Amino acid sequence: MSRIGKMPVDLPKGVIVNISDDNVITVKGPLGELSQTINKDIKVEVDNNQIVITRPSESKTHKSLHGLYRALVANMVTGVSQGFKKELELVGVGYRAEAKGQNLEMSLGYSHDIVFELPGEIRVETKTERRSNPIITLTSVDKQLIGHVAAKIRSLRPPEPYKGKGIKFVGEQLRRKAGKSANV
């Protein structure tokens, strides 16, 4: 029994859902439009400003698809109504970031600057204040895309466990290691 799949998805004001014959669900809202292809076995209906997702049987694959598609549809509704935001922090001496349109230019301690080209659906802002680490803020309506891009940016210089230098998510707790201790 999928507890997540059973819960209906509430539609906020201004969000319109369209379900086509070939099982493509399209969600339009004030921030944008998203679409997702859904397995033909899973049934999606809109009732009283709620999206209800049902499965045909109790098989293991149907149960897993039931919860998956409910979560994907809920993320689409949240994305077009509120949007998603990820913040990355650059920890290290001389690390900096600058947004130039859809390009993110970063200096991460390598011999050259890294220019990261962002997809058109993602907006980027950088904030650099004195005596604090630079912060990169990504905003988008697509949760999958923003998570993927944030992980790609983090992989350019993952935080190391001794000093904590690198790119980390804001609020992320890092496992730190003790350094080499001298025997006296």
Instruction: Give the rounded percent of residues in the chain with a pLDDT score beyond 70.
Output: 97
When computed from its CA atoms, the radius of gyration of the chain, rounded to whole angstroms, is 21
**What is the C-alpha to C-alpha distance for residues 9 and 31, in angstroms, rounded to an integer?**
18
The total number of structural domains in the chain stands at: 2
**What is the C-alpha to C-alpha distance for residues 92 and 148, in angstroms, rounded to an integer?**
23
pLDDT tens digit sequence for 126-139: 999 988 999 999 99
Same domain as 139, residue 105: yes
Contacts of 79 (CB under 8 A, 6+ apart): 29, 31, 32, 34, 140, 141, 142, 143
Determine the average pLDDT of the residues in 165-179.
92
End position of a domain, from candidates 81, 103, 118 = 81
146 within a domain of the structure (yes/no): yes
Same domain as 148, residue 88: yes
pLDDT over 70 at 1, yes or no: no
**CATH number of the domain encompassing residue 72:** 3.90.930.12
50 within a domain of the structure (yes/no): yes
Range of the domain at 41: 3-81
Top pLDDT among 167 and 2 is at 167
Instruction: Tell the residue number behind the tokens 């011999």, with chain if given.
Output: 111
Determine the average pLDDT of the residues in 141-147.
96
End position of a domain, from candidates 51, 81, 111 = 81
End position of a domain, from candidates 65, 81, 97 = 81
> What pLDDT is stored for residue 179 in this prediction?
84
Same domain as 152, residue 111: yes
Same domain as 26, residue 37: yes
Residue 179 corresponds to which tokens in the numbers above? 């350094």
Same domain as 46, residue 90: no
Same domain as 134, residue 101: yes
pLDDT tens digit sequence for 36-91: 999 999 999 999 899 999 999 989 999 989 999 999 999 999 999 999 999 999 99
Residue 169 corresponds to which tokens in the numbers above? 């998510």
Task: State the pLDDT confidence band at 180, using cuts at 50, 70 and 90.
Answer: confident
Average pLDDT, the chain: 92
